[in-house]
Chain A
Amino acid sequence: MELADTLRPDGDPKGGVLAHLERLETRMHRSRKKLEEPQTVQAEESALVTEIQKLRRLRDKLRAEVKRRQAGFGLLHILQVKASTANVEPDQTWEITEQEVLERKWENLKAVLQAYRFTGLSGKLTSRGVCVCISTAFEGNLLDSYFMDLIVQKPLRIHRHSVPVFIPLEELSAKYLETNIQHFLFTLCEYLNAYSGRKYQADRLQSDFAAFLAGPLQRNSLCNLLSFTYKVEPRGQSFPLCARLLYKDLTRTLPTDVTVTYQGMDALSTSWEEQRASQENLFRTKPLHHVFTSFARKGEMLDMSLVS
């Protein structure tokens, strides 16, 4: 059909044949191209597919790596991972890196150092010396902590501290700081622990046994002189007693001198005198709040016996 187009009315043979040949050539190119295209496309396609698969494999590998690192260095995790990898690849051994070991040791040490304060006397190195911490306790109750910043120089001196002003720190440091620091620290511990213990007993009496007191508890800063009026039974008919406790030994939590009198009564019958003496003995031998706990318990037993 195209042959018919080539015949021009003027009948020019050259333009016609060459043009015809040209047209045939282009037709041939076109059809060849059409045959080629699906092949290249396919080739390209398959190349891209392999690329995608390769990238996917790499992504999965990286994800697994991230997960492993994020989960931390806990032993449990390591065991878990070991178990899971054991299922998947039983031949792969898990290597705990040196850094992980060191970090676990570091955390352990820090925890031990923090727990040291429960021993009562601990410290931390500072840039100029050491910061000593005295943690006081009484009957298993952890009470206040006191600090001292020591500067290690000649002479050894206390830079600052949180010891209360009524504890004889200057005296003790003048006597022992230079010559025998161990003795200094242990003596200071004694003083502070005893003070904390006395304060604890006085606080307990004021807060827990206020019902037994007929009037305010008189105390001082060192809690080494306590004076109060009390009744053995809070609501009962018993006579009020006046107690005066002196703690002349500042390293002890029990009083050295106890005076108990019946309020306003000088001469006592023998039975009352016995009671009075036994009260004195109670305060001399048991911590203050324990004495009142025993009063409370006796009262409970009495109530129970009345009820039954």
Chain B
Amino acid sequence: MQRSSQEFSRGHISAKEMDETVAEFFKRTILKIPMAEMMTILKAWDFLSENQLQTVNFRQRKESLVQDLVLLCEKKRASLNDAAILDIVYTQFHRHQKVWDVFRMSREPGEDIDLFDMEQFKRSFKKILQRALKNVTISFRDAEENAVWIRIAWGSQYRKPNQYRPVYVVYYSQTPYAFTSSSQLRSNIPLLGQALTIASKHHQIMKMDLRSRYLDSLKAIVFKQYNQTFETHNSTTPLHERSLGLDINMDSRIIHENRIEKERVQRVTQETFGYYPQPRLEFAQYKLETKFKSDLNGGILAEREEPLRCLIKFSSPHLLEALKALAPAGIADAPLSPLLTCIPNKGMNYFKIRDK
């Protein structure tokens, strides 16, 4: 990849032609997009007009299509920032490809009313990062519900920003939570946290023990939006009608032997997990540092002074639904351990357990 002679730290383009690095970045970003989504994503990007898109043949081979699109972008004098916005749009459509962490910010009590100004936030955020790091690319895209998606490509003192390993931050205005895509480049996380905290007028930031690919589920957990069926005089849905697949009256020739126990299990499960769809998580991890307790006498692990170090990880395509199905399936006793059932309430899926 040929670098142009001039060093661009902020992505300004020359008047004549697009920088080769930027052209390459465009090419690789557009290549990522699946053909089936190409039109949708380009329209959402809203940089190439309807007329311009119509001049391109979308039925040709992908490589040729990408070439045509990059040419169009060059003609329209697209900048590095425009390419970064396209990258944000792609990531918004494919948010499950990233793993998201959650940060919680706090401020001293008794502060003034939060008059959040989005433009001021963006200016402040950019200023703080650019003051600390000369080489960094920062792009913003406003999203629904007064949120903003921020894309940050890190560089260093002597290197241009690496556009192929960006970090994304999603922040909902006037809330204490920010969601960031996990990044290998951990050294810049404290700086990122500082910029977020100061720009949003908070004082402290801490990382929560909550992580998942499903950004919307993380949002539902921390904003407590997952349990939203309430009893009112107007509601017509009977709350207690749904069963967990146990239809007693299905066939009179079938006799359920443990009917009472099965009904108890069902009732306890409904009380714990509610009637709503569970937020989606892929795993729960428990780090144990506890002394081994055993009823049996003897054994290798008994009577040890040091705590046992052990890591237990539960994985599932949909962990909470799987936990909900455990007791009714007869695999576990009801009620389940509170260590498992507290996950959405506490907003944690990483636990460290020590002896008290």
Q: Which A residues form the contact surface with B (CB < 8 A)?
A: 110, 113-114, 116-117, 122, 124, 126, 131, 133, 147, 149, 160-162, 164-166, 171, 218-222, 224-225, 227, 246, 248, 250
B119 A222 Cβ-Cβ under 8 A: no
Residues of B within 8 A of A116 (CB): 233
Give me 24 A-to-B residue pairs in the complex whose CB atoms sit less than 8 angstroms apart, sorted by A's number: A113-B233, A117-B232, A122-B233, A124-B231, A126-B231, A131-B230, A160-B224, A161-B224, A162-B228, A165-B222, A165-B223, A166-B175, A218-B117, A218-B118, A220-B116, A220-B117, A220-B118, A220-B146, A221-B116, A221-B146, A224-B113, A225-B115, A248-B113, A248-B115
Residues of A within 8 A of B173 (CB): 166, 220-221
Provide the bound-state CA to CA distance between A122 and B117, in Å.
35
Provide the bound-state CA to CA distance between A218 and B109, in Å.
27
With A116-B233, A131-B230, A165-B223 as known contacts, state yes or no: A221 contacts B115, CB within 8 Å: no
Residue of A nearest to B231 (CB): A131
- Interface-centre pick from A114, A147, A162, A221 (highest chain B CB count, 10 A): A221
Residues of A within 8 A of B224 (CB): 160-161, 165
- Interface-centre pick from B117, B119, B232 (highest chain A CB count, 10 A): B232
Provide the bound-state CA to CA distance between A276 and B50, in Å.
39
Residues of A within 8 A of B222 (CB): 165
B333 part of interface (Cβ distance < 8 Å): no
B55 part of interface (Cβ distance < 8 Å): no
Q: Which B residues form the contact surface with A (CB < 8 A)?
A: 109, 113-119, 145-146, 172-175, 177, 222-225, 227-228, 230-234
Residues of A within 8 A of B145 (CB): 221
Residues of B within 8 A of A164 (CB): 223
Closest 9 CB pairs of A and B: A147-B230, A166-B174, A220-B116, A221-B174, A221-B146, A113-B233, A220-B173, A221-B173, A165-B223
A133 B230 Cβ-Cβ under 8 A: yes
Minimal beta-carbon separation of B170 from chain A (angstroms): 14
Q: Is the interface of B mostly helix, strand, loop or mixed?
A: loop
Residue of A nearest to B176 (CB): A165
Residue of A nearest to B234 (CB): A114
With A165-B175, A165-B223 as known contacts, state yes or no: A222 contacts B233, CB within 8 Å: no
Residue of A nearest to B225 (CB): A162
Residues of A within 8 A of B231 (CB): 124, 126, 131
B146 A133 Cβ-Cβ under 8 A: no
Known: A220-B174, A221-B174. 4 other contacts (CB 8 A): A164-B223, A221-B173, A222-B116, A248-B113
Provide the bound-state CA to CA distance between A224 and B146, in Å.
12
With A161-B224, A165-B175, A165-B224 as known contacts, state yes or no: A222 contacts B230, CB within 8 Å: no
Residues of B within 8 A of A227 (CB): 117, 119
Residues of A within 8 A of B175 (CB): 165-166, 221
Provide the bound-state CA to CA distance between A166 and B222, in Å.
12
Minimal beta-carbon separation of A1 from chain B (angstroms): 77
Provide the bound-state CA to CA distance between A259 and B227, in Å.
41
Provide the bound-state CA to CA distance between A265 and B175, in Å.
36
Provide the bound-state CA to CA distance between A116 and B227, in Å.
24
Residues of A within 8 A of B118 (CB): 218, 220
